[in-house]
């Protein structure tokens, strides 16, 4: 399984709801086994620059690629890109060994 996490900051706080609306299109794309779009709680003591988080789980690289190729993904980009300042994305394979011990 691949986890896909994207962080966004808005150019202006007034754009956050519009960005959420544009990103909500992603939740209707059928290729993710799980996809969430949420406003950051901004409770971190070291920094709260991120406004919105997208979290997705995909069964394979092919599913993630199909998600990114979907027309609604492109429409979401078209709506969100003019309103956002920063975008950071990371994908990782859940089956890869973890370096963090439990407990």
Domains contained in the chain, CATH given = 2-93 (3.30.70.100)
pLDDT of residue 47: 85
Q: What is the pLDDT of residues 25-37, one digit of tens each?
A: 999 999 999 999 9
Phi, psi of 66 (to 5 degrees): -65, -40
Q: How high does pLDDT run on average in the chain?
A: 94
Q: Work out the percent of the chain whose per-residue pLDDT is above 90.
A: 86
pLDDT range class, residue 102, cuts 50, 70, 90: low
Residue 50 has pLDDT above 70, yes or no: yes
Give the whole-angstrom CA distance, residue 14 versus residue 18: 8
Residue 52 has pLDDT above 80, yes or no: yes
């Amino acid at each position: 399984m691949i986890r896909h996490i994207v962080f966004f900051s808005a150019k202006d706080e007034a754009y956050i709801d519009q960005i959420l609306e544009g990103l909500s299109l992603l939740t209707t794309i059928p290729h993710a086994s799980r996809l969430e779009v949420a406003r950051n709680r901004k409770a971190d003591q070291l920094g709260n620059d991120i406004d919105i988080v997208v979290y997705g789980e995909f069964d394979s690289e092919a599913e993630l690629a199909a998600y990114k190729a979907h027309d609604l993904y492109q429409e979401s980009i078209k709506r969100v890109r003019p309103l956002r300042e920063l975008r950071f994305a990371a994908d990782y394979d859940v089956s890869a060994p973890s370096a963090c011990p439990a407990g």
